Every structure is written in structure tokens, then in C-alpha cells.
Chain A
Amino acid sequence: MATRNDTAAPPTKEGGAAPGRPPADAVSPEAARKRARLSRRWQRDMRWSPYAFVSPFFLLFLAFGLFPLIYTGWASLHQVELTAPTDMSWVGLRNYTRIFDDEFFWNAAKNTLTIGIISTVPQLLMAMGIAHILNYKLRASTFYRVVMLAPYATSIAAASLVFVLLFGRDYGMINWALHFVGIDAIDWQGDKWPSQIAVSTIIVWRWTGYNALIYLAAMQAIPQDLYESAALDGASRWRQFLHVTLPSLRPTILFTAVVSTIGASQVFGEPLLFDVNKGSSGGAEHQFQTLGLYLYEQGWVNQHLGRASAIAWTMFLILIVIGIVNYVISRRLRASS
């Protein structure tokens, strides 16, 4: 709450304590009224301006955040097709209950989990290693840092299309290289694990540099004298990394883990573009269909708006659970340190 203008001491002018204006009691009644009016306006200003300042975000959030969220929730309780979105028939929780025995949903959930694990874990480990190397004094270190970020700046569509060509079964470069070491052609798109590994490769390629830069920034904030004293105590580089770098990075690691987990649970573009059928079924047997892809398939390809909304809300709830688990783990970690 702002200080009341009429009871507070008159504000000092730039001239400091020098008397800049006539004493207050010499003010004519007219001037006093004027000042009171100004003061009321100033009060209103103080009171409402902040709301005006923050309103753009909240207006946009209402229009593009909250309304879609509520509308999706409402649609998820109906049977409604995209061809006639106004034609809704109430089905209650049926769209949710059917998810329990929707094998395609659980298949997608499983794929999201496995792709998430085989992309996030190596990604963060590699990022840590790369950051550690970049943290040494290197010639042209800025160059390397920019290069690290290049995949992140590349369009996901362009990158995925290149990877589709690389991972081609018949004419792809990877199979061509593998045949020199005596490995038969792998069907990178048709088989379950190869396809999931291929999709993960795109994700790893794209995000490793990004995480490495975050780690690097955190590493550079670690006081140098910690390393010096460790070195004096006879700790090797590896021991320094284990006992100085890693503990200091703990909050950063936690942050990247949370962000990567959320990212992994929403994986969409990579598997969509990796599908040679240009569809969203994630391969002939749905072997790399993620939850994001399944949601898209139900909503935009099959036009089942109600079902897609229920899937979206279920994903939202799953994300909240993941968020809570993360929170609990991070509290444990903080308590233990």
C-alpha cells in the first residue's frame, strides 16, 4: 500500500533539504483542493496501474491458456467430433474410463517412458562430460560453445528429416556403415527397439549441447580456490570432479533433470517426422508412438475431439504426478546435503 500523500512528509525535490517551496500552511484553499484532487488521482494511479501493467499477460493467459484448458476439460466429458465441434453429447467420464483398457494409450505411455529414459539419461551424462571438458582452458572455447548450441538452434523438422535419411533401412548411411563391420541391415523404422533408439538419438543430438551449456555456466560459478585446495590435498582431476564439481552442481542437475523429464513426456515432433508413413501412428505397429503423438492422432487425424481432450487431461495429471515426485526428491536431496 502506498504511503498516503496527504499525511506523509512532502517529497523532497532534487535540491535536497533546501526549502524549495513555501510552507504548507501558506497554501490557499484553492491550491489545497487542487492538491487533494491530484492526490486522489495519484492514489488511484498507485492502486490500479500495477494491474494495468500485468494485465496483458493475464488477458493472454485467459484467452490462450485458461480458456483452452477449461474447454478441453469440458470437451473431454463429451462425445464430440472435430467435424462438428458444437454438436456435443454428454458421456460423463467414459472418455477417461476407456483409457484404462485402451491398449494404444498404454503402449504410447510405455513408449514415452522408454524413449524418455534412453534419451534423457545418456543426454545428461554426455552433457556433463562435455561441460567438464569445456571447463578446462581451451583454445577457441567460444567456438566450441557455439557449436554445442547449433543442434538446439536447428529446426526440429529439418533435423528429423536428415535423421530419417541416415536411418533408412535400404539406402541409409548408418546401415551402410554397419555393413562394413559385418552387421546386417537394421530396420530402424520397423523394429521396436531400433526405432526407439533412433528417435532417442534425434532428441539426444538436439538437447545435449543445451544442457552442456547450462552445466558449464554452473561449473564456472564454482570458486576456483575449492579446486586449488583440493589439488593441494592431492586430489586427481577425477576426484576433483567427483568431490567438488558434482556436489556444487546438485541444484543445476536437479533443474536439468526436471526440465528434461517434462520435455521427454511431451516428445512429439521427432517421432512424428520419423514416421515414414507421414502419419502419426508411430510406425506400423505403433512401436514408437508417444503420448503426444497418440493425442495428436486421436484429435487431428481421427477427429475425435472428446477422446483427445481426455488424453490431454490424463497427460496433464501424469505430469503433475511427475512434478510432485520431483519435488519430493529434491526436498530429500536438499535435506540430506
Chain B
Amino acid sequence: MRARTRTARKTVVLAAVAALGAGLLAGCADDGKDGDGSGSSDSSGKGKTTITVGLFGTMGFQEAGLYTEYEKLHPNIKISQNVIERNENYYPPLVNHLTTNSGLMDVQAVEVANIAEVTATQADKLTDMSKVAGVDKSNWLDWKWQQATTKDGQTIGLGTDVGPMAICYRKDLFQQAGLPTEPDKVAALWAGDWSKLVDVGKQYKAKAPKGTYFMDSPGGLLNAILSSEKEKFYDASGKVIYKTNPAIRAGFNLTAKAAQEGLVQPQTQFQPAWNTTIAKSKFAAIACPPWMLGTIKGNAQPDSKGKWAVATSPKSGNWGGTFLTVPKSGKHVKEAQEFITWLTAPKQQATLFKVQASFPSAPAAYTMPEVTGATNEMTGSDKIGPVFAEAAKSAPVQVIGPKDQIVMQGLSDNGVILVTKGKSPEEAWNTAVKTIDNNLDQ
């Protein structure tokens, strides 16, 4: 009896240990080829091929009905997306998956701030989209295409949207400050030179409604100025030049001057207090890619609808935009390539703009009615498409470096914001440089 119980118990223990070990092993094995597993066997799909798509934020493909449309065109395809809210949480795991070549979806989105790093370091893990049938380089803005192309000519991602920069302003506040309100006249005030924008800010401040500022934040202004430069933080050979590039220092000093004179609100963009300043209508102008209208709408009170207008910015620049890539280790590489080729075609980009205000990176879309006739709740009956289209076409082919995000964040969050707290521009610059150099490991 005793011996029997022992054996029985032993069997249980052995089984448990074996199960645990198998579980561990299976866990490891599974991790090794996640890309295979996730896409292939889908019970609900009934033999359909499921393309998995990894995205961040609200990119709006699903909301715009593009998946449904594609599934209708291709009855054997099913599309399933996995969205992570913030790029800060999406990008580090993506880098890990790329470096280990595992756990990747069939399609992975990459933000423009990260595209240079991905292009430079991970190109061998991604498929060359320029060789795919139906992909026509001339569909895209030239600079957008270049951003995802390696030195040896491999294009690892297809552009979805871009962020052509304009200046959005409050017509009612401009009027109270004695400034013109028509977009053309407003744009003429500062055409060609960012320092003229700051001068308009001074005019605004002289007669401004109490408690309002000209612009929302020093970081936003600095970002707008620098986004219109051809060379920013890196030169074409990949050398870090942000310290010696006179354009950077000039932009920093101009922003610092605006901050010292109280033309910008002492805020950091996208933080709760900044959202509140939108809700309370505390500033008159903001550097504004199309998607910013969505942010404004998300935070503004209903009574500010239709009070905004969009004017061409002093110099054209770009802020934001995304690429779709197809990792080599995906299970359905061919299907995924076909899918993103369709998804990024001009027609689909135009649809996306209409629904999501993501501005097309395909110039062919700029003449489509979805873009030319587009209006926005915040800007009333004004047609906003042409202003952004013009900005997109005249934006410079900017040299994008792998660590642009770190430099930009250092200049704004560790630098120019300090001027609003009473530091001199010199001190603020030095603080920013120290932080950036440490972060870049210079």
C-alpha cells in the first residue's frame, strides 16, 4: 500500500516537473518563432490568411474602414491589428524584436523620429519594399521616400502620412489684439522668416486679451523652427553637428527670446497642464501639422469650434509621419507587402486624411476631392487641404539622424523651457548640451 502511494505521488511529482519543464521549453520555443505562430492558425478565419499589423497611437486605418475594404477585395485575407497607445511604449519592444528577429508582426509601423535609426541599424531584418510589384517611388514625396531608404538603396518602409507644418491661430484673439484674421494676410505678416513670427507675437502681446500668450510653448516653437531646416542635428555624413550648426543655435536663441519676452506660455506640450491651456483658450497660435487640429479638438471647449484658422508658416517644415515596414521573419511576407502597397496608395491616403486628418505623403492625393475639399470642425468652413499640401511640397529634404528625438527633447525639455523659469539663454543652452551629450554618449 505504502509503496503504491509513493509511486503514485512520485508520478504526480514527475508529471508536474515534466509539465513545468515542457512549459518552460515551449515558452522559449514559442518565443523563438512568434512571428510564425501568430499569423498562421486563426480559428475564426476558417483557412483565411491573417495579416497581423503592429501600430501605435491612433493611426486610423481601421476607423477609416480600410481593413474592411481590403478584406472585401481579397476574400482570403483577414487583418488583425495590435495597437499600443504611445510610441514610447511601442518603439523599445520593437527594437528588441528586430534585434532578436523574433516576435514581430507581419506589418510593423515605425514613427518618423525613429525611422533613421531603424533604417541604419535594422535594414537587414526588413524587406526591401522598392522591389515589390506595384510600388512606385514617384507616388511619394521625394523626401518621404528618402527617409526610409538606406545608403545602398534599400527602401525598408512605405510612408503613410506626413506632418506638413502650418500655424494655427485663433481668429477671435487675433482680432482683439488688432491683428488681421484672414489666413492670407496673417501668413503675409511673417512670410519667409521665423523672427517675423516673433515680431507678430510682440504686436499681439501689446494689445492682447489679459492672461493669454501668443504661442503655446517654447518647445513647440523651437520644434517648428528647426523642422524647416535642411540640416538639423546631423550632417549628411551622419556626424552630430547640433552644437556647431548655426541654424540650431539661432533657432534656440530666437525661441529663448520669445520666452524671455513672455510670448510663449511656460508649458511643455502634451502634458495635462498644456491640455488645460487649450481648454481655457490661453494662447493665440500654435505650430500645427494637420494632426494637431485633432489634439486641439480633443481638448478644446465646444465654444471654440470654428474660431481657429490655418495660415502658412514662415518656412515650411514637417512634424510627424509614419512608415509601414514588413519584417523578413513574418509568416506572410508576400501578402503583407501587397497589403501595405495598397494601404499606402494615394487613394487610401486621401481617405485616411478625410477621416483621421493624417496628411497624405502621396502628392497624387493632394488633388483628390478628399483633400482639396477638406474642412475641419475647429476651422469652420475654411478649406484646409491646400495650405497643408503647399507646405508638404515645399518642406525641405531634411537630414534625419538616428538620435534626433534625444537631441530635440534635450533642447526643448532640458533647455529652452528653463528660460521661462528665469534662466539666461546661455545657461539654458549649456544645460541642454550637457544632457544631450551625456545621452548621446559623446
Contacts and interface: CB of A to CB of B under 8 A. Distances in A.
Interface string B1-21: 011001000100110010011
Given A42-B6, A83-B95, A284-B413, A168 B273 contact: yes
Interface string A98-118: 000011100000000000000
A193 B327 CA distance: 48
A248 interface: no
Contact of A52 (B14, B86, B413, B438): B14
B36 to A, nearest CB: 22
B414 A301 contact: no
Interface string B418-442: 1001000000000100110011110
Interface stretch (A127-135, A253-261, A302-310, A325-333): A302-310
Interface string A156-188: 000000001100111100000000000000010
A187 B96 CA distance: 37
Interface in B367-406: 403, 406
Given A276-B268, A285-B431, A171 B96 contact: no
Contacts of B413: 277, 279, 281, 284
Contacts of B438: 102, 104
B272 A164 contact: yes
Contacts of A279: 409, 413
A59 B88 CA distance: 33
A53 B20 CA distance: 12
Contacts of B43: none
Nearest to A104: B438
A93 interface: no
Say which size band chain A's interface belongs to: 35 or more
A277 B268 contact: yes
Interface residues of B, number: 42
A236 interface: no
B276 A170 contact: yes
A278 B17 contact: no
A196 B117 CA distance: 35
Given A11-B2, A301-B406, A83 B117 contact: yes
B58 interface: no
Nearest to A306: B441
A78 B441 CA distance: 14
Contacts of A52: 13-14, 17
Interface string A258-300: 0000000000000000001111010011100000000001001
A84 B121 contact: yes
Given A55-B17, A279-B413, A300 B92 contact: yes
B273 A170 contact: yes
Contacts of A307: 441
A285 B99 contact: no
Contact of A190 (B3, B99, B421): B421
B418 A59 contact: no
Interface string A124-149: 00000000000000000000000000
B308 to A, nearest CB: 22
A171 B441 CA distance: 37
B16 to A, nearest CB: 9
A295 to B, nearest CB: 13
A314 interface: no
B3 A42 contact: yes
Nearest to B413: A277
Nearest to B274: A276
A84 B99 contact: yes
A103 B438 CA distance: 10
Contacts of B304: none
Nearest to A44: B10
Given A49-B10, A277-B413, A281-B413, A38 B273 contact: no
A56 interface: yes
A285 B3 contact: no
Contacts of A169: 273
A56 B16 CA distance: 10
A302 B440 contact: yes
Contact of A277 (B117, B271, B434): B271
A45 interface: yes
B6 A302 contact: no
A85 interface: yes
A53 B96 contact: no
B122 interface: yes
A89 B221 CA distance: 40
Contact of B20 (A56, A104, A187, A284): A56
Given A278-B270, A281-B413, A303-B95, A297 B13 contact: no
B22 interface: no
Given A164-B272, A276-B273, A281-B413, A82 B99 contact: yes
Nearest to B88: A278
Contacts of B418: 284-285
B278 interface: no
A176 to B, nearest CB: 13
Contacts of B250: none
A284 B217 CA distance: 14
Contact of B10 (A45, A59, A277): A45
B188 to A, nearest CB: 34
A242 interface: no
Interface in B82-96: 86, 88, 92, 95-96
A53 B13 contact: yes
Interface string B259-279: 000000000101111001100
Contacts of A300: 92
B417 interface: yes
B441 A302 contact: yes
B418 to A, nearest CB: 6
A43 to B, nearest CB: 12
Interface string A28-47: 00000000001000100100
A56 B17 contact: yes
B24 interface: yes
A63 interface: yes
Contact of B414 (A55, A86, A276, A284): A284
11 contacts: A45-B6, A52-B13, A59-B24, A86-B99, A102-B438, A276-B268, A276-B271, A276-B273, A278-B86, A286-B414, A301-B406
By Cβ-Cβ distance, the 5 closest A-B pairs, closest first, are A276-B271, A83-B121, A277-B413, A302-B439, A171-B276
Given A165-B272, A302-B441, 16 more contacts: A42-B6, A52-B14, A82-B92, A82-B95, A82-B96, A85-B100, A164-B272, A190-B421, A277-B271, A278-B86, A279-B409, A279-B413, A281-B435, A301-B439, A302-B406, A302-B440
Interface of A: 11, 38, 42, 45, 49, 52-53, 55-56, 59, 63, 82-86, 102-104, 164-165, 168-171, 187, 190, 276-279, 281, 284-286, 297, 300-304, 307
Interface of B: 2-3, 6, 10, 13-14, 17, 20-21, 24, 86, 88, 92, 95-96, 99-100, 117, 121-122, 268, 270-273, 276-277, 403, 406, 409, 413-414, 417-418, 421, 431, 434-435, 438-441
